[in-house]
Amino acid sequence: MKNYLDELNEPQREAVEATEGPLMVIAGAGSGKTRVLTFRIAHLIEKGVDPFNILSLTFTNKAAREMKDRISKVVGANEAKNLWMGTFHSVFARILRVEATRLGYPSDFTIYDTQDTQSVMKKVLEELQLDKDIYKPKQVLHRISQLKNNLITVRAYHNNPELIEADAAAMRPKMGDVYRAYVDRCFKSGAMDFDDLLLRTNEVLTRFPEVLAKYQERFKYILVDEYQDTNHSQYLIVKALASRYENLCVVGDDAQSIYAFRGANIRNILSFQQDYPDAKVIALEQNYRSTKTIVGAANQIIAQNKDQLEKNVWTANDQGQTIPIYRALTDADEARYVASQIWELEINEHLKHQDIAILYRTNAQSRAIEEALRKRNLPYRVFGGTSFFQRKEIKDLVAYLRLLINQNDEEALLRIINYPARGIGQTTLNKLTVASGELDKSIYEILENIGQYNSKIGLNKPTSQKLNDFITMIKSFKVMLQNHDVYEVATHVAKTTGLIKTLKEDDTPEGISRLENLQEILNSIQGYVEEQKQLDEGDPSLSGFLENVALATDADNSDDDENKVSLMTVHLAKGLEFPAVFIVGLEENLFPSMMNLNTRQELEEERRLFYVALTRAEKFAQMTYSVSRFRWGKIVDSEPSRFLEEIDDKYLEWKNLNAGLPINKSGLNANLFEDDYSQVPKFERKKPEEKKPATPLKPKAGFKPVAQANIINQMNGESVELSAGKIVMHDRFGKGKVISLEGEMDNVKATVLFDNAGEKKLLLNFAKLKVIS
DNA sequence: TATTTGTGCCTTTTT
DNA sequence: GGCACAAATA
């Protein structure tokens, strides 16, 4: 227990022991930053600091849990349990449960997720009669998010001619009205969006000195992980809380700042020393994670960026293998290659599924990979994308529960008032909404006294009765909540509202899976209730559960013990490490993203993202790019990413540079499903030392009519040869005979004479033809 | 009113 | 190819 300090190197140890005063730790990738944070907290407790006085802000809730576990092992669970650890959003949501009433919010305020806010915004824009093609909900919300993260309130906005002008110049002169209406609407619904959680925390700390003093006293020691990714709002909260004792330790790596798009401000880390002139700064430069090859290649990448702090990450680890870079012909080929390499790694290097991660730039890329993994029977888990709690069937049930806690939650109410269908249509809802505005009462309040309003609103008897039935049902749930636990209520809700029945009627695979999801959420509610009942400070209440739902990140609820290959975006991979990592889709306009090519700053963030991806790898890293890819339903040609050029060839091993698309020999994409390309007509072999690898060696697109083409059999994914005379099957047209084939390489058209539908020209890329004989 | 069919838009990245 | 929204129909 005492010798934990011996497990640290010199700078790590220094960072752990410098407990008093401001400290910034610049931690290179893989340099043991989590270790430092963990031991530092343990050390504080060992020195006699009350865990109650320590606040630790992590990037995910999962990271917080893991750190807590590790601290428990050093100082004991009893000590560790009083630590405040979590993400900014979850910690300050907890604080706002106590303090938000000062700002006029209910303490059971709802947290609106992205879906909710978009839905609110659409209604706002409709009400203001603004063109939703100009005021695109997503863009407008992004703008508001920017404003909030810079603590520009509605009033501040209207007092700021510069901002108003900027929005006018961007063709959105009504931005201020939209902002006000959106904020009002959320407030009336007793709801906060993600940015509000930070903005309102700032507000409460600024407006109420006694609140500030309370939390300053409470959090005498503050630690912030991933400091490079904090935004201005978070920065100010930390600054305010730490200003009394200044026992603030921030840990970060400017080279890994990848959240500028959501307001992260790299200046927070770059200017720490100006904010705290007597701050101690410690750099952790020894990488314990990766091979020399990986560290060397990563260093070369990041060296291309201008905006960065000097540092020299090095490692004493083995040289390791060179990094293979596979040039794929299509995204399917890329996926197939990755799957086959995973097999090899598992056999030759004795890796388990869980040792392997596949990282990509966009969530959409997972599909092709998933398919290839399934074919190889490799179990996998996809992180991110539409998370469990975003699914419709889950949101429906949660909306009922939300309404029980916060009757003003209009999003929840409108979502479920007619789901499952109970004959309350759009017309009725419009009337209610109008009445709600005129009477300045929430829709729920109107419904509670529907008898007294229905003539004024203009509702007929049957409709009024339906509304009354609905509100009676909701009220009965509320009553039940008083003496039953959340699981019992949720189950009752799912049954009595007809949610389960509706899903049961749908026996398509999707319907069945939705029913399973509903079952799963009920199970997880039960699990949550049981778990919270066990804990001393557990909160088995419905509002506690709902907060978890709103702030759960996908990285949080992983089944750790499952042995599966991980698939995720590079963003989600931050802070993780794997023995083997595949980075796929290294192509121009994808990674770097086409959206981020306009300014140097944007491009540098993409480069940092690539740096993060590569530095996740311990022993084996591989990269792939494809010369063509399915995007927006079309095959798009692509070129290798510029980032590949930035790595010295001594670290790399270029693979499959010669494979082309031999349209004149055996047809389109003939060789996608074989590993042996030796039979394929060769393009000029490229020698890396002669030519920069990233210069695309694209096979020239052929424009000749083709005699044959290979299509991919929809059933088993195998390639099947197609030529004139073959009998094929089409979903809509039925059976038919191929008359001829024509067209360009990736754009082959087949003329088919169908038995019942006559002659059709079909694009092979789109028509799902099955070859019968 | 509810359900089905058709269309236009789309894609970064996430708390 | 997929999803959200609009129009068309029972």
A768: CB within 7 A of chain C nucleic strand: yes
Range in A247-261, A290-304, A640-654, A728-742 the model is least confident about: A728-742
Mean pLDDT of A282-295: 95
Is A592 contained in some domain? yes
- pLDDT confidence tier of residue A149, bands split at 50, 70 and 90: very high
* Strand C footprint nucleotides (protein C-beta < 7 Å): 1-2, 5
Is A647 contained in some domain? yes
A122: CB within 7 A of chain C nucleic strand: yes
Question: What pLDDT is attached to residue A721?
Answer: 64
Angstrom distance (rounded) from CA A768 to CA A720: 12
Question: What pLDDT is attached to residue A555?
Answer: 61
Mean pLDDT of A69-95: 90
A616 is known as an active-site residue? yes
Range in A314-328, A343-357, A724-738 the model is least confident about: A724-738
Angstrom distance (rounded) from CA A151 to CA A156: 9
Angstrom distance (rounded) from CA A412 to CA A442: 12
The residue annotated as part of the active site, out of A12, A34, A341, A624, is A34
Range in A122-126, A302-306, A763-767 the model is least confident about: A763-767
A632: CB within 7 A of chain C nucleic strand: yes
Q: Are residues A598 and A637 in the same domain?
A: yes
Tell me how many domains chain A contains: 5
Instruction: Kindly tell me if the per-residue pLDDT of A350 is higher than 90.
Output: yes
Instruction: Kindly tell me if the per-residue pLDDT of A697 is higher than 50.
Output: no
Q: Strands, E, within A220-373: which ranges?
A: 221-224, 248-252, 280-284, 286-287, 314-315, 323-328, 356-360
Each residue's pLDDT tens digit, A199-245: 999 999 999 999 999 999 999 999 999 999 999 999 999 999 999 99
Binding site as annotated, residues of A for ATP: 27-34
Is A408 contained in some domain? yes
Question: What pLDDT is attached to residue A57?
Answer: 95
Q: Are residues A207 and A237 in the same domain?
A: yes
Q: Which residue has the higher pLDDT, A635 or A749?
A: A635
- pLDDT confidence tier of residue A738, bands split at 50, 70 and 90: confident
Question: What pLDDT is attached to residue A708?
Answer: 56
Q: Which run of H or of E encompasses A602?
A: helix A600-614
* Strand B footprint nucleotides (protein C-beta < 7 Å): 1-3, 9-15
Q: Are residues A318 and A397 in the same domain?
A: no
Round to a whole number and report the distance in Å from the CA of A584 to the C1' of C3.
25
Is A399 contained in some domain? yes
Q: Are residues A89 and A220 in the same domain?
A: yes
Mean pLDDT of chain A, nearest integer? 84
DSSP string, A134-151: TS-HHHHHHHHHHHHHTT
Instruction: Kindly tell me if the per-residue pLDDT of A681 is higher than 50.
Output: no
Q: Are residues A398 and A471 in the same domain?
A: yes
**CATH classification at residue A77:** 3.40.50.300
Q: Are residues A515 and A413 in the same domain?
A: yes
Domain extent at residue A88 = 4-102+198-284
A634 is known as an active-site residue? no
Structure tokens at A396: 């429906």
Alpha helices in A354-508 (DSSP H): 366-375, 392-405, 410-416, 426-439, 443-448, 450-457, 461-483, 486-496, 499-505
Round to a whole number and report the distance in Å from the CA of A336 to the C1' of B10.
27
Round to a whole number and report the distance in Å from the CA of A365 to the C1' of C2.
14
The pTM score is 0.82
Q: Are strands A770-771 and A727-730 parallel, antiparallel or unpaired?
A: antiparallel
Q: Are residues A645 and A526 in the same domain?
A: no
* Bond from prior residue into A592 cis (ω within 30 degrees of 0): yes
Each residue's pLDDT tens digit, A153-207: 999 999 999 999 999 988 889 999 999 999 999 999 999 999 999 999 999 999 9
Phi (first) and psi of residue A77, to 5 degrees = -65, -35
Round to a whole number and report the distance in Å from the CA of A155 to the C1' of B3.
45
Q: Are residues A72 and A219 in the same domain?
A: yes
A497 is known as an active-site residue? no
Question: What pLDDT is attached to residue A557?
Answer: 58
Angstrom distance (rounded) from CA A12 to CA A207: 39
Nucleotide nearest to A195 (CA to C1'): B15
Q: Which residue has the higher pLDDT, A716 or A260?
A: A260
**CATH classification at residue A183:** 1.10.10
Each residue's pLDDT tens digit, A465-521: 889 999 999 999 999 999 999 999 999 999 999 888 888 887 777 778 888 888 888
Percent residues over pLDDT 90 in chain A: 53
Percent residues over pLDDT 70 in chain A: 85
Each residue's pLDDT tens digit, A380-397: 988 877 778 888 888 899
**CATH classification at residue A489:** 1.10.486.10
A225 is known as an active-site residue? yes
Is A699 contained in some domain? no
Angstrom distance (rounded) from CA A384 to CA A236: 29
Question: What pLDDT is attached to residue A773?
Answer: 67
Angstrom distance (rounded) from CA A382 to CA A371: 12
CB neighbour list of residue A324: distance below 8 Å, 6 or more residues apart: A341, A622, A623, A652, A653, A655
The residue annotated as part of the active site, out of A200, A574, A608, A616, is A616
Q: Are residues A504 and A623 in the same domain?
A: no
Question: What pLDDT is attached to residue A559?
Answer: 58
Q: Are residues A233 and A184 in the same domain?
A: no
End residue of a domain, out of A627, A655, A683: A655
Question: What pLDDT is attached to residue A81?
Answer: 85
Structure tokens at A200: 């309102």
Q: Which residue has the higher pLDDT, A673 or A95?
A: A95
Q: Are residues A448 and A521 in the same domain?
A: yes
Q: Are residues A477 and A544 in the same domain?
A: yes
Question: What pLDDT is attached to residue A239?
Answer: 95
CB neighbour list of residue A52: distance below 8 Å, 6 or more residues apart: A82, A218
Q: Which residue has the higher pLDDT, A660 or A597?
A: A597
DSSP bridge pairs for A114: none
Amino acid A568 reads M
A138: CB within 7 A of chain C nucleic strand: no
Scan residues 223-282 of chain A and list those with Cβ within 7 Å of strand C.
none
Mean pLDDT of A431-438: 86
Round to a whole number and report the distance in Å from the CA of A631 to the C1' of B9.
14
The residue annotated as part of the active site, out of A195, A196, A226, A448, is A226
Q: Of A207, A101, A96, A75, which Cα lies nearest the Cα of A153? A: A207
Structure tokens at A660: 């082309």
Round to a whole number and report the distance in Å from the CA of A568 to the C1' of C5.
30
Round to a whole number and report the distance in Å from the CA of A174 to the C1' of B10.
25
Is A682 contained in some domain? no
A715: CB within 7 A of chain C nucleic strand: no
* Bond from prior residue into A209 cis (ω within 30 degrees of 0): no
Cα A213 to the chain's mean position, in Å? 35
The residue annotated as part of the active site, out of A225, A253, A411, A547, is A225
Range in A43-52, A520-529, A622-631, A653-662 the model is least confident about: A653-662
Scan residues 309-328 of chain A and list those with Cβ within 7 Å of strand C.
none
Note whether A759 and A752 are within 8 A (CB): yes
